[in-house]
A and B are shown apart, each in its own frame.
Chain A
């Protein structure tokens, strides 16, 4: 495996959720979510009626595509993207080259405010994900899957 496994525990999740909740409020955004670079949703806050699973996968694809372009230009990854629409705008921020922070907002707020709040949140998130990574790489870490049997797996498909 080239990348360590992504794992989420209650303690870190609560810290992350608190940051995301605060960001929605302070930036006056419609929705904020965090996904990993593979497009898996980690946390969300705000108007989560939106199809966040689909948005997560498309955002990851978008970051992957611009990352590919950066590579061709021998450039470091583009860490920030902004897409402006008539009603909604999307601000995408790569955090610690590992997770993606997405803010969707409308004209109730401004790009300047969003940028400012995103910057602060990114710094905090970066620290949390660093610590999480350390924890995941601990060889003594317990996992729920060491014990599963062939039967457990077969049972998944008996519908």
Chain B
């Protein structure tokens, strides 16, 4: 649920990175944080365990620029991917304007990808959202790893609807901004359609 402030002429949108444990959600945000000018970003907050697994969420506020005199601000969140943190994942999805599903390309993680996507659908439905109606893109991450599934196979399994999708190596930044731009565009387009 975006927030339009006519006084400060700002529009705020919430984007959530979802996906199985260790797929690279936090790494996406860290890369965006490291590559963004200081004046365009706030502090990145990571509520993580001692082993750097996301415990509740990561948060990164980002200013993208102006549209028709309105400053566009995006709040990027990641969920904790580990299965047992489901209650927290549900909370982070509240008020979401757009979802990035980060898949782990490694063959060994195919089942985890499918489970996480199913979990995303269930958790959205619980709050009256549908993945088919929400701005939504998919990222196939870890393309640099040795035992990975071909992109076409991943696409067949995870993207039958044909939403925008991207190959990525989040540690080096490949595909990270492409993914972010795609979801930001879809969110703004949806705002126009729904009349803000």
| Residues of chain A lying within 8 A (CB to CB) of residue B128 | 1-2
Interface residue ranges of B72-127 to A (CB < 8 Å): 72, 75, 87-88, 90-92, 94-95, 127
| Residues of chain B lying within 8 A (CB to CB) of residue A150 | 189
| Residues of chain A lying within 8 A (CB to CB) of residue B92 | 64
| Inter-subunit contact B75/A57 (CB<8 Å) | yes
| Inter-subunit contact A152/B42 (CB<8 Å) | no
| Inter-subunit contact A38/B43 (CB<8 Å) | no
CB contact between B196 and one of A53, A144, A159 (< 8 Å): that residue? A144
Interchain nearest-CB distance for A65 vs B (Å): 6
Q: A61-B56, A146-B195 given as contacts; is B1 within 8 A of A156 (CB)?
A: no
Q: A2-B127, A37-B95 given as contacts; is B65 within 8 A of A159 (CB)?
A: yes
A54 within 8 A of partner (CB): yes
Query: How many residues belonging to A are interface residues under a CB distance threshold of 8 Å?
Result: 42
A145 to B, closest residue via Cβ: B196
A73 within 8 A of partner (CB): no
| Residues of chain A lying within 8 A (CB to CB) of residue B184 | 156-157
| Inter-subunit contact B4/A5 (CB<8 Å) | yes
| Residues of chain A lying within 8 A (CB to CB) of residue B88 | 65, 68
A4 to B, closest residue via Cβ: B1
Q: Which of B6-14, B19-27, B165-173 contacts A (4 or more CB under 8 A)?
A: B6-14
A136 to B, closest residue via Cβ: B4
CB contact between A8 and one of B6, B47, B70, B127 (< 8 Å): that residue? B6
| Inter-subunit contact A6/B191 (CB<8 Å) | no
| Residues of chain B lying within 8 A (CB to CB) of residue A154 | 185
CB contact between A144 and one of B68, B127, B194 (< 8 Å): that residue? B68
Give per-residue flags for B166-196: 1 if the beta carbon is below 8 A from chain A beta carbons, else 0: 0000000000000001001100110110111
| Inter-subunit contact B45/A58 (CB<8 Å) | yes
| Residues of chain A lying within 8 A (CB to CB) of residue B65 | 155-157, 159
Interchain nearest-CB distance for A20 vs B (Å): 14
- Tell me the A residues contacting B by CB distance below 8 Å: 1-10, 13, 36-40, 42, 51, 53-54, 57-58, 61, 64-65, 67-68, 141, 143-148, 150, 152-157, 159
By Cβ-Cβ distance, the 5 closest A-B pairs, closest first, are: A143-B196, A38-B95, A2-B128, A64-B91, A145-B196
